């Protein structure tokens, strides 16, 4: 080894406590043999010192910046790379000269992974701030169908914020009344698309006029072409509510539209390019419909590039007080009444009730009690009889249970387990009987650890 190089190595080892540095340090001689490889290098590259010290770099790690610098004789700075361990690094490599003589090369790698993690956290914080702003605007604009401070709603709005500014087709799943249309509208607002937002209830359009509504028609009186919905919504967003009610022949035309980004006008056969964001929604089990042949599998995959699931109100009961408060303010403004107080017992009943109609049902109940209160305190006698009787039945069955969250969970678990038994553990049939999406059922089965006794016996016998 060159004597001058040995002197340099001794100095480096003495002056820099290499193994406690935050950068990865590598030093090679003129032959590309590694002489310094600190602990940070081991972590970034997953190569131990014993595997590399005294060996040629190329024999262990291929295509490294330090060898390129050594061979070219030219320094390289701020080279961004990713390692096989998944680290993002910034590489600086220089030729080492001693008294004007080239003796090797030095490489310093800065691990950017922590910075990347911090950037991700910053992005999440921005999304959280954006979500809070959405909450504020929801109250101001009287759009409360997707308001909530539960974990489920925070995660949902985080995902919605991520996909809002893309053109990716979305499918929103959830029970009737959970706010699928409101979520689609909010995504459109966050997207800043220039065109309008239009909601179409596919179940409300007669089969015979589907094509003309979507792709246009000719006015029988004037002979002029009347644009269809996709022309009207160009540069905007169309929300196809209850997409599962779309006739099979129209499903094929919609698939063709999505593949070509154009429509064929029904009236004159003209091909028209469009840029419309498609969001679809349903409360039905599409996978089951595909098996039955009533929904096109290829269309499902085209629509369901990203799936958003809106949790039922039963799954996010912590949102009920906030929603009740927002709905009360809406109704009092509507009927010019003083905002009443909610008796604590009323809040308890609202939290206990099952809310099969979800947000829409809660909104109707709040309107009912606000009108009955006349602006005074809302008491239990103002609640609809059906709600009070339903909660009483539940409370009688759980009179000894004081933990609300625990009792609600146990009650829900018992219902799901009973239905699973009745359906002979057929998840699709059980989801239909429970009137919830199959995905929600699977999530609940995993959450509560519900298992078929036959399955458990089989597993035990295998371990014996």
Q: Tens of pLDDT along 359-373? A: 999 999 999 999 988
Give the three-class secondary structure for 103. strand
- Mean pLDDT of all residues in 26-31: 92
Least confident of 70-74, 133-137, 239-243, 302-306: 133-137
pLDDT tens, 320-344?
988 998 899 888 888 888 888 888 8
- Mean pLDDT of all residues in 214-230: 77
> What percent of the chain is predicted at pLDDT more than 90?
31
Residue 283 is predicted with a pLDDT of 94
Please tell me the distance from the alpha carbon of residue 191 to that of residue 275, in angstroms, as a whole number. Answer: 13
* Contact (CB, 8 A) for 162 and 308: no
Residue 457 is predicted with a pLDDT of 44
Q: Which residue has the higher pLDDT, 223 or 155?
A: 155
Please tell me the distance from the alpha carbon of residue 87 to that of residue 109, in angstroms, as a whole number. Answer: 11
CA angle in degrees (0–180, nearest 5) for 190-138-357? 105
Residue 151 has pLDDT above 60, yes or no: yes
Predicted TM-score (pTM) of the model is 0.55
Q: CATH number for 313-397: choose from 1.10.150.20, 1.10.8.60, 3.40.1350.10, 1.10.10.10.
A: 1.10.8.60
* Contact (CB, 8 A) for 235 and 276: yes
pLDDT tens, 240-296?
999 999 999 999 999 999 999 888 876 677 788 889 999 999 999 999 999 999 999
Q: Which residue has the higher pLDDT, 47 or 148?
A: 47
pLDDT band at 5 (very low <50, low <70, confident <90, very high): low
Residue 458 is predicted with a pLDDT of 46
Please tell me the distance from the alpha carbon of residue 398 to that of residue 380, in angstroms, as a whole number. Answer: 20
Report residue 291 as tokens: 């098996």
Residue 66 has pLDDT above 50, yes or no: yes
- Mean pLDDT of all residues in 125-142: 50
DSSP 119: H
Please tell me the distance from the alpha carbon of residue 241 to that of residue 184, in angstroms, as a whole number. Answer: 10
Please tell me the distance from the alpha carbon of residue 464 to that of residue 462, in angstroms, as a whole number. Answer: 6
Return the CATH superfamily for domain 3-111. PAS domain (3.30.450.20)
* Contact (CB, 8 A) for 283 and 202: no
In the chain, % helix, strand, coil (3-state, to 5) comes to 55, 15, 30
Most confident region among 2-11, 82-91, 239-248 by mean pLDDT: 239-248
Residue 40 has pLDDT above 80, yes or no: yes
* Contact (CB, 8 A) for 185 and 138: no
- Mean pLDDT of all residues in 395-411: 60
Residue 1 is predicted with a pLDDT of 59
In this structure, the strands spanning 170-173 and 277-282 are parallel
Which CATH number does 405-463 carry? 1.10.10.60
Domain ranges of the chain: 3-111, 131-309, 313-397, 405-463
Please tell me the distance from the alpha carbon of residue 128 to that of residue 116, in angstroms, as a whole number. Answer: 18
Residue 227 has pLDDT above 90, yes or no: no
Q: CATH number for 131-309: choose from 3.40.50.300, 1.10.10.10, 3.40.1280.10, 3.40.800.20.
A: 3.40.50.300
Report residue 321 as tokens: 């007080």
Least confident of 6-10, 62-66, 77-81, 378-382: 6-10
Q: Which residue has the higher pLDDT, 67 or 5?
A: 67
Please classify residue 413 by burial: count the beta carbons closer than 10 Å to its beta carbon, then call 0-12 exposed, 13-18 middle and 19+ buried: middle
Q: Which residue has the higher pLDDT, 148 or 350?
A: 350
Arithmetic mean of pLDDT over the chain: 83
* Contact (CB, 8 A) for 208 and 345: no
pLDDT tens, 415-438?
888 888 888 889 998 998 888 888
Residue 141 is predicted with a pLDDT of 41
Tell me how far apart the terminal alpha carbons of the chain are, to the nearest angstrom.
Answer: 64
331 to 145, 179, 285: CA distances (angstroms): 14, 18, 34
Find the length of the chain: 464
Least confident of 116-120, 192-196, 295-299, 450-454: 116-120
Residue 3 is predicted with a pLDDT of 67
Taking each helix axis as running N to C, give the angle between helix 320-335 and helix 113-140, from 0 to 180 degrees, rounded to the nearest 10: 30
């Amino acid at each position: 080894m060159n004597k001058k190089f040995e002197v340099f190595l001794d100095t480096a080892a003495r002056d820099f406590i290499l193994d406690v540095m935050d950068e990865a340090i590598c030093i090679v001689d003129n032959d590309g043999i590694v002489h310094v490889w600190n602990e940070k290098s081991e972590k970034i590259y997953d190569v131990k010192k014993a595997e590399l010290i005294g060996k040629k770099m190329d024999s262990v790690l291929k295509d490294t910046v330090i060898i390129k610098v050594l061979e070219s004789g030219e320094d390289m700075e701020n080279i961004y790379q990713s390692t096989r361990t998944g680290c993002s690094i910034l590489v600086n490599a220089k030729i080492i000269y001693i008294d004007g003589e080239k003796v090797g090369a030095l490489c310093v790698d800065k691990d950017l992974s922590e910075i990347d993690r911090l950037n991700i956290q910053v992005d999440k914080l921005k999304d959280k701030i954006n979500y809070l702003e959405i909450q504020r605007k929801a109250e101001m604009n009287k759009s409360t169908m997707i308001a909530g401070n539960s974990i489920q709603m925070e995660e949902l709005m985080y995902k919605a914020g991520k996909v809002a500014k893309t053109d990716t087709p979305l499918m929103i799943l959830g029970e009737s009344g959970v706010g699928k249309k409101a979520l689609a509208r909010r995504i459109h607002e966050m997207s800043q698309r220039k065109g309008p937002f239009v909601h179409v209830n596919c179940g409300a359009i007669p089969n015979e006029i589907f094509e003309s509504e979507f792709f246009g028609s000719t006015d029988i009186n004037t002979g002029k072409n009347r644009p269809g919905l996709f022309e009207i919504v160009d540069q905007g967003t169309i929300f196809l509510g209850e997409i599962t009610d779309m006739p099979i022949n129209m499903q094929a035309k919609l698939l063709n539209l999505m593949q070509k980004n154009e429509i064929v006008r029904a009236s004159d056969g003209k091909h028209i390019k469009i840029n419309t964001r498609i969001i679809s929604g349903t409360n039905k089990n599409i996978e089951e419909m595909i098996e039955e042949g009533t929904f096109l599998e290829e269309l499902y995959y085209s629509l369901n590039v990203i799936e958003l699931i809106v949790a039922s109100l039963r799954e996010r009961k912590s949102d009920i007080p906030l929603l009740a408060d927002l709905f009360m303010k809406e109704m009092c403004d509507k009927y010019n009444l003083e905002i009443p107080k909610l008796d604590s017992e009323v809040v308890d009943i609202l939290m206990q009730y099952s809310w099969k109609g979800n947000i829409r049902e809660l909104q109707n109940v709040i309107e009912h009690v606000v009108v009955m209160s006349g602006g005074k305190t809302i008491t239990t006698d103002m609640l609809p009889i059906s709600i009070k009787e339903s909660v009483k039945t539940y409370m009688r069955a759980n009179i000894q249970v004081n933990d609300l969250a625990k009792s609600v969970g146990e009650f829900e678990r018992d219902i799901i387990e009973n239905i699973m038994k009745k359906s002979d553990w057929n998840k699709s049939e059980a989801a239909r009987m429970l009137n919830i999406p199959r995905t929600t059922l699977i999530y609940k089965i995993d959450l509560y650890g519900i298992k078929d006794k036959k399955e458990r016996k089989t597993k035990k016998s295998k371990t014996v």
